[in-house]
Chain A
């Protein structure tokens, strides 16, 4: 209670929903709940928006990672408090370790220190939006588009068998222009795209069960890789479709290591997403978009949206403990770092939080069960992430692009694909003239993850001091130019958690996907479990469309 001076008390002290953490899923839920008319309190212990989805200045990033790399134990004592005549058990929250094996190296500290604040580095990179994906739809539906702007990613490349980076022929025009495909390959690829297109058109038609254009149910349930095989696509094209368009993570040809075998149905859905994305916005050249100022903008935009609808925001406000109903063990409220106790019907927690087992005093059994469930939250795996800063673009003429290393393209035992995204100063994420590269790959353990990161980084960049530039470099071989030199890098392993709605609800961590589709699905699910009778962002006439209508009507 000594800190009350620095934390002004929050009024009122009862809410429909308290959200802790301003990551994208939390922000979306806060905005959705606000839109549904709930009173929402949105808290974040950090001085910035975005939590694990934030975009941070260069020097803040290691600090954040480190702060979350060690579990923060709390006292395991259980106390009781009485508010308005009700007794509550106070269960202290503790923080889990979400990041590990953090390695940060700086090769040009002065320049970087000078410009540190000009960086907006994504914690969960590489992440982009597909022009037709759920995130864009949500942004449009919720009118969040007023708060965020995007630029198109100019190109995407895939590392082919010979180690060269070649353009991903992802659209008709791209296939046409592609120089690396043979005429027959072009034909095969385009034919496959058309097949999928026809399938979709046929599926949209009603009562077309017997339609020839449709891919059979049997095929749809088969692995995508088999289907591609069946379509007689050559390995090169198969690899492009699987890893650079459908963005499969695991080696689809090697069932032993493949933890996620893509079904034809899903593969086609991903292909469709990609294709619908190309050309959805006339001024975006490809399928992918990136928010200016970084992905952290998205969380922030939803927070603004929530604030417009009356959501209350308090940053720099840690939550210390949960209040449980003494009798039923049900969640009732939170205790803030300021010492203030707040009550709410629902709580959404940042994935970092967990509850320490109260060992000494044994709570009632039901509570123990709940808490056990909470602490045994499933960790779905790990993801290795890498961030590199360079002062030159990998490709001379374009600054924003994606590179995909399909499994086995870096080294034979590479089981998962590595994706790299280079972004330039034009996106306001780093000083002009510098470039940030994000890398990520799924991994089983830190060693494997680090290997993947290093292999990819070495393939693209030159480490300062190492003269070993000619060692089979893709970029160099292709354009006979020197690889960009690394100025700064950070490698870390991130735990993957899924969102859950149990005793306590928590949101997922940034996943290994390139887009937000899965995360948003989980978020919507969470919202619907919490508010089964509420619509997730009800359809309203957004101010902008009203404007459009006004424009269309004629002035007299």
Chain B
């Protein structure tokens, strides 16, 4: 973990996004879309990203410390993957430098390297009698590159930029020093030019375009960004609204800051529109990054860092220096009478100005920072001047590999002013390596070299103790060997005293603790101290949870039994929650605790289809069903297979024919292929399915075949947290195949209408046992191990009482949310099997309250509300039957059974309780507010689905449909597909990550005529394998004429489109069917 941070993130990644963008442009593909996910606790976020190019997702490495680095990594992966295919190679291998993007890239590079903005100087060479030629030089990082002559000024600039990039890139590729993670080093080849004096960069060419336009665009973009971040947080933290709020305001804050800076940003040169966009986006992301990454950076008293925006300006913005930490070390007033002993610390009030600084340093978190005073600006300008002087000196040392004492001293001075200068840190790394290799390894000189490094880092840190570069460098130095690690702890204590929430320090602390093998108990005590000092400390709480889970897992002396430890933790966190319910950090810890309390370790099975003890009637392609049979337990399949579904309580992996044994005359166990139902193509899933063929066997009609499924007999099914499915489970049911052959009737082509009049409530005439009852049998059957104590139940009950008390005092959003979650946990604990929802009404009311109280997160609460509501509906037979209807026409054999579950008009924002609805074949979810149908993939029997009049906004949101092999009728009319330019569904619903489409997609596979397939790749992905016969898609923005042409070709089996019968040659239909069966077996 400590090795995979910051550095790799930044190294070498400065061009990938642009290159990928360029590739996409070349190929006529849509702009690559990045989905970046913030992970980890909010005080210590890490990022990973997925880029979607051409419908394929490429995942970055994880654990980046900033968003941009993660995106670059994703782009890199994409490029590597893409370059494997030939035609793509053609595109990418061409140097990127052919286009105007060169200037962008160079600009980006300059930002990355903290250089001043590239400075272009053009010269017009007038040759009499010929058109004038322009030649241009660009200066970056103190080096001047000369481009070839060109006809226009713009072209000349591009050429100069290209020269520079080529030089920079070639120097990067041949420069590698062992495994040291170094950033790009500017060209060595250009050494001769390196001595060219750096020009003052402040006279940047004036913008040609009006500034306001640009600013406006930026604002819009950053707005979008804020929104995304917010959403991501919802997702990452599961149910944590608190954090959402936090980060929202953080982002807003950051936005305010960045937008303030924007107007001063000069536009260096005119570029084509595309490039401009790219650049603008960068600027916004950059500024957001710098404020979100730090997590607490809002109140940061303007670090004296040359940020990228600043360096763009030429006029460098260096904020007021961070408050000086030294204080209280004044000398005693001399008085001979007595001696002052050292108990307690001396307090020496300092003069006004210092007090202000102190206050500023106290204003570290979540409080607004002061705007810089004019005199500060003057000071910072002076500082910037000085910095520039050092910088050019430093760079020339760097390029000449000058590692003399004086040269190193220059870098130290530079870092003293700007600790964020990665180049300088890297230079120092090189210098250390150089010096170490020349120090003939005598201990003293090694020690003095390393000590000097530590000293420089320390002084840089006291300048800005949030400098990534400095902390990283320190780790690097320590990894080289260290003289006294105790000193590190002392240093940390000093920093953490100054700002106890500095996550850099916490991070480093973990590193040091691991390095010196400090006991986890000691570190735990340290967190206790920190929490006692200030309990609004995410870092401390987080570290505590990490340490504690280790200690609990290892059953360390004093940390067993778990119950005792957790009780104490509850006690502690209660103090924080009650003292200040508005503070979020404690709530996070509380949720962790609750998780520890409620969650069982081992995964278990929640439900199956067919259910244990049931009696299933199957019918095949040429069979007519016996309508008198119980509809809940009959299934019609054209392909002659029926699914066997296992629904687990959490995602598991390792379900296969060796871990699950199916015993039946119908099939051979080893032939069965179990597939995870996961839209991510991941190898773990909550739902697993296998298909049993029944038609090709010579089966005796009306004979019952027993099928027995057993699992848990051997190890191998493992949850994502690494626990084994342990208790052995037996599921047995009987199958009968209807094989009365009959002529196909014309009715087969009948259209399914979803009109109200076509349904009648099933309850009235229902005689058969409803599916819910039998479902219960299964769970009782494999009821988990007897609980040794009801500690869980008692704890949850106590907690509920406590939070009811708190809520009687105050109205607190997160308190209500927590109570709702506690009540749900209580329901789950009290009646794991009986499905009783004792608290359902109360929970629903709490969520309804929350929707009103906290409108900005109403969607989140709505989702929760929907989920509880559905839980309630499915909790018993009666309530479920109220939503079961019989479809009017009993004679549509191709559709399957005719019990329709109608959950329309219920204001549902998401679907849930799938584990109880596995039997559904016809589902009406129209007139709700669904924005996702995630989870619907579990309903393998589903053949008719009505999603009309919802809020589905993209085809991506319909992704789960891809896995519904039996789906024939789909109504997605009157949604919002295509009306949002940005597909928010990805951010709203889980797991856009780790999600690589493994489709061999060839654009020629479907003759799309003139339609540009790439515009509709999302639709293609969602529908490509489906054998739909009836689709309604009207009323969506996307459904224009062009799309419909594409759509019809995509789904050749469709007979009814938007209520109209398509004229189809039946034979061609069956041909297409053949084609698609290939897909089905995917």
Contacts and interface: CB of A to CB of B under 8 A. Distances in A.
A336 interface: no
A165 to B, nearest CB: 20
B355 interface: yes
Contacts of A188: 809
A432 B802 contact: no
Given A175-B579, A282-B358, A554-B417, A147 B349 contact: no
B200 interface: no
A150 interface: yes
A118 interface: yes
Nearest to A292: B340
A187 interface: yes
Contacts of B361: 282
Contacts of A147: 333
A183 B348 contact: no
A173 B349 contact: no
A152 B352 contact: no
B810 A428 contact: no
A275 to B, nearest CB: 13
A187 B578 contact: yes
Contacts of B890: none
B324 A551 contact: yes
B337 interface: yes
Contact of B535 (A148, A176, A297): A176
Interface stretch (A133-141, A206-214, A246-254, A481-489): A133-141
A151 B534 contact: no
B344 interface: yes
Interface in B334-373: 335, 337-355, 357-359, 361-362
Given A187-B579, A545-B354, A154 B324 contact: no
A283 B349 CA distance: 10
B579 A190 contact: yes
B523 to A, nearest CB: 20
B351 A145 contact: yes
Given A140-B355, A188-B809, A548-B354, A151 B345 contact: yes
A193 to B, nearest CB: 9
A183 B809 CA distance: 11
A369 interface: no
Nearest to B532: A177
A302 to B, nearest CB: 13
A255 interface: no
Interface string A135-165: 0100111010101111110100000000000
Considering residues B333, B339, B354, B532, which has the most beta carbons from chain A within 10 angstroms of its beta carbon? B333
Contacts of A289: 347, 349
Contact of B344 (A136, A154, A554): A154
B799 to A, nearest CB: 12
A147 B337 CA distance: 16
A contact residues, range: 35 or more
Given A177-B532, A186-B579, A432-B341, A544 B347 contact: no
Nearest to B325: A282
B contact residues, range: 35 or more
Given A173-B534, A183-B574, A190-B579, A400 B338 contact: no
Interface in B371-404: 379, 382-383, 386
A187 B352 CA distance: 35
B781 interface: no
A172 interface: yes
B349 A139 contact: yes
A187 B327 contact: no
Contact of A552 (B340, B355, B358, B379): B379
A424 interface: yes
A186 B347 contact: no
A184 B578 contact: yes
Interface in A101-153: 117-118, 120, 136, 139-141, 143, 145, 147-152
B570 to A, nearest CB: 11
A184 B343 CA distance: 36
A549 B353 CA distance: 9
Given A147-B333, A283-B328, A191 B347 contact: no
A120 B342 CA distance: 18
B688 to A, nearest CB: 45
Contact of A150 (B349, B351, B357, B536): B349
Nearest to A426: B343
Interface in B523-578: 531-536, 574-576, 578
Contact of A183 (B354, B383, B417, B802): B802
B806 interface: yes
A102 B445 CA distance: 71
B333 A279 contact: no
Given A145-B349, A149-B346, A548-B354, A293 B379 contact: no
A176 B486 CA distance: 31
B794 interface: no
Contacts of A297: 333
B1040 interface: no
A172 B585 CA distance: 14
B581 A425 contact: no
Contact of B581 (A145, A149, A187): A187
Contacts of B324: 548, 551
B701 interface: no
B353 A281 contact: no
A173 B802 contact: no
Nearest to A543: B351
B363 to A, nearest CB: 11
A172 B351 contact: no
Interface string B415-429: 001000000000000
A150 B324 CA distance: 20
A549 B348 CA distance: 19
B330 interface: yes
Considering residues B350, B352, B532, B582, which has the most beta carbons from chain A within 10 angstroms of its beta carbon? B352
Given A149-B347, A284-B347, A293 B341 contact: no
B578 A548 contact: no
A556 interface: yes
Contacts of B349: 136, 139-140, 145, 150, 281, 289
Considering residues B347, B361, B383, B531, which has the most beta carbons from chain A within 10 angstroms of its beta carbon? B347
Contacts of B348: 145, 149-150
A2 interface: no
A295 to B, nearest CB: 14
A151 B809 contact: no
B350 A544 contact: yes
B386 A425 contact: no
A351 B810 CA distance: 53
B362 to A, nearest CB: 6
B362 A279 contact: yes
Contacts of B266: none
B223 interface: no
A553 interface: yes
B575 A183 contact: yes
A408 interface: no
B337 A117 contact: yes
Contact of A152 (B345, B379, B498): B345
Considering residues B328, B353, B379, B805, which has the most beta carbons from chain A within 10 angstroms of its beta carbon? B353
16 contacts: A117-B337, A118-B337, A118-B338, A145-B351, A173-B532, A176-B532, A183-B578, A186-B578, A280-B355, A283-B347, A292-B332, A292-B340, A428-B339, A545-B353, A548-B353, A554-B417
Given A183-B806, A297-B333, A428-B338, 20 more contacts: A140-B350, A145-B348, A147-B333, A150-B348, A152-B345, A172-B580, A173-B533, A173-B534, A183-B574, A186-B578, A191-B809, A281-B349, A283-B345, A283-B346, A284-B347, A293-B337, A544-B350, A545-B354, A548-B351, A556-B386
Q: 4 closest pairs, A vs B, by CB? A: A183-B578, A426-B343, A545-B353, A544-B351
Interface of A: 117-118, 120, 136, 139-141, 143, 145, 147-152, 154, 172-173, 175-177, 183-184, 186-188, 190-191, 194, 279-284, 289, 292-293, 297, 399-400, 424-428, 432, 542, 544-545, 548-549, 551-554, 556
